[in-house]
Amino acid sequence: MREQAIERQLKKTIQAAGGLCWKLTCPGIAGVPDRICLMNGRVVFVEVKAPGALPRPLQLRRMHQLQPQGFTCLVLDNPDGIQEVLDALQAA
């Protein structure tokens, strides 16, 4: 399965659950996660990768900048991981 297909499935699933799943672009800042998912007052940043692919060092650094600010950052390289994103968005 290609990265684009995983990203499409993520967007479809989050929207079906009542959330938002926006493509994230940040001019002037490279390495930001691909998607920002919002639901129930929660925010989850998602870096989408092809199956088995790993984030680049810069992408890891951006996620490590977000996490101390209280944000959840997940790497998604398999459609099975979409449930983890949903769980993070629905956490109490």
pLDDT tens for each residue of 7-32: 999 999 999 999 999 999 999 999 99
Name the nearest CA neighbour of 18 among 34, 35, 41. 41
Calculate the dihedral angle through the C-alpha atoms of 73, 31, 7, 69, rounding to the nearest 10 degrees.
Answer: 20
34-70, pLDDT tens digit by residue? 999 999 999 999 999 999 999 999 999 999 999 999 9
Taking the complete model, does pTM exceed 0.75, yes or no?
yes
Scan for tokens 């002037």, then name that residue: 28
pLDDT at 92 over 70: no
Q: Which amino acid is at 75?
A: V
Predicted local confidence at residue 86, as pLDDT: 96
